[in-house]
Structure 1
Amino acid sequence: MKKALLYLLFGLLALVLTAAVAVYLVVKLALAPGPGEWPTRVKAGPFALEVGVPTAIRLATSSWFAPWLVGRSFETEHGPVRVGWNETASTLELDCAPCSASVPALGHAPIRLDNLRFTARRDAGSLNGLLEATPAATTVSSLAGDNVLRARWDGKLTQKSLQIHVDAPDAPIARWYSVLAPAIPELQRARIGGTLALRAQLDLPANHLALHPRIEQFSVEGLGTEALLDTRTSCGPPSRLAPDSWLARAVIAAEDQRFFSHPGYDLAELTAALDANQKADRIERGGSTLSQQLARLVVTGSERSAERKLRELLYAVEMEQTLGKPRILQLYLDNAPWGPGGLCGAEAAARRYFKRGARNLEPAQAVWLAAMLNNPGAALEKWQRDGHIDVERAKWVAEGLRGITRSQRESLQRNIAAARFAPPP
């Protein structure tokens, strides 16, 4: 009798294992990427599957298959995803907590959301739904009341790609910060005003993101940037350059051509930088204004991350209000890095490279110095090796100079092309 029971147990176990393997193989075959289909890897418990994303999306949004997924969790490259299904609305519900995405164009650190809810309803190859992002319950937010960011989306699904359009209506900028960067220390004391609306397009699997933000009445108080009115630079003697000096104008042409017209940030430049960086799949263009660069120099540091960008933006906006353009420009000139060995500040750079004060630089020398700012170390190395810096960049800076006549610009371009300044030892 015992022997018969033992055989029965072994038989049942074998049957269960066989059924499990059979289900696994069926699912694997059903979800396997077809020829030319966009694939990804999904882990469910002990199993890891290579699945075709379009096939998986069609199955997951179908009323006959989706209910079988309810309550299940999957480990994905973006984080753990739990599945739900709204039978009445025939809508898939996905909860990702925490959720992250790496966007090399925005920095090395991934963008992280504490909680993201994603709903999707499909009609043939068309999809639509809602996005809701919230900070963790333990996060201390600077915004009282509703701290949920909501957006509608629609998409077009093919065998090779998914194109998604997202429309997030106006929401307080403080709410955006509480969701996107809840841990930054500035949120504990900053009073953030204004609204942000966002339209975006995401192409998958190319991971190309296009952003179209709209900001209104952005203001920041409480960060204490007014203390910079009386601060002294540690880079040596101040340059005391007037805003219309050759070097000041050349720096504006090189680093922030809309300096006198923007409110501390330049949305057109930021979106252009994002596009350029995505094409290069790395950060090649910063998109920061002089105000943001000053915030990085004196407060936030230079870590390449979206969180640091958000921090420097707060300081830049407040500095525009507490310091004004002339003081921001002066502080930038007195603190900007201009070469290895800790060389910083316009006065120290002018004396190091041209053995004269910043106010006494010739126009071509001023443009030469300004053209070095995007990468001072590499520019100096090229200067010492080849006898000149990147001449085309210097000519581009000269082309962007404001307040000079056409004949002055043409003369300056010729002088730059012919310049052979002796490199420093």
Structure 2
Amino acid sequence: MTYDYIIAGAGAAGCILANRLSASGKHTVLLLEAGGKDSSLWFKIPVGFAKMYYNPTFNWMYYSQPQKQLNNREIYAPRGKVQGGSGSINAMIFVRGQAHDFDDWAANGNEGWGFKDVLPYFRKLENHPLGDSEYHGGSGPISITPMKGQTHPICDVFLKGCDELGYPHSDDFNGPTFEGSGIYDVNTRKGQRCSSSFAHLHPALSRPNLTVELHALVDRVIFDEAQQRATGISVTQNGVVRTFTANKEVILCAGAVDTPKILQLSGVGDQALLAKHAIPLVKHLPAVGQNLQDHLCASYYYKANIPTLNDQLSSLFGQFKLGLKYLLTRKGALAMSVNQAGGFFRGNEAQAYPNLQLYFNPLSYQIPKNNKASLKPEPYSGFLLCFNPCRPTSRGAIEIASKNPRDAALIDPN
């Protein structure tokens, strides 16, 4: 079958592109997704994050290669395997990034990527309850909900501790003051997850010029050998190999892990790597899969001497009360992210900008064994404090493990 545009990956970017490219009605668009529909109620309820974070049905559940610097541990790297991609299974925190990150891109020759250049698009993206302002938009497709005033009381203790230690405070991480402690915003609408799938793709599904094929794992991109131009894509769907042709473009939106994997499987990448796996070379591009940058998250578990979310979620009666409140009001703990407070801080005085992000979680949970789907609260009052470097200096790589598309890529964040 032939389409004008073929998009591989129905994640955060793919859903938006499918909507925008099909909006005029002039072009036929095919959106391919290796996972299934985001039709389960758990995708809509924010607390459903706990059901999806270790669920192999909707999560690729990748792991890194053993890391020498971390005593050869393999680090969990969750990726969404469902319509909406990782935006359907994540914790929904809405943070854009620091202004100087974008300005650095522009300063390094990427014209049009400075903060003043991208801010109008961020504003266009969001539907903020405060409406249009210098830093926010009031009519975009992605709804933003500030959690301020709704978080668990122990979050106030965290903020007070930050104040006592002399750290600054931020009322809005997406506003004029980025640095400091505060309460995060989440991308939810009326107490439900507002992913790219729900906000962009679902409203476009009735268009006759948009086709979505689920459970379609990309085998390779098809190239015109004479022109080295992408002309189509081959997938395996429910055990059947299918080929689709593109009149205009093949667009890869499979994320930081699977986009370079697809390119390498298709013969685009380092010549030596492709030869190792007996893949015919289309284009020698040794940078494909290189320069991987990722944030190492270190979570610290603490016991608390006051009640936390553990106490509510560890009993059936507590779960019933939270569930009833959510059903009646679309508010409460089930309507929010598990990551509620936190902020951006400088690790020392020598740092020109905040170089650490913290998540304060009023819940501490057990990591499930044997790929069980749900996170389980610890059997005591507890909380988490998670540290992330904002701009890691490590550089790693993504490489195919074999020529079989069903084999996960080798992820080495180094």
Which category of TM-score, normalised to the shorter sequence, fits these structures? under 0.3
Please give the TM-score of this superposition, normalised by the length of structure 1.
Answer: 0.23
Please give the TM-score of this superposition, normalised by the length of structure 2.
Answer: 0.23
Larger radius of gyration: 1
Identify which of structures 1 and 2 has the higher relative contact order when contacts are C-alpha pairs closer than 8 Å and 6+ apart.
2
Greater per-residue helix proportion: 1
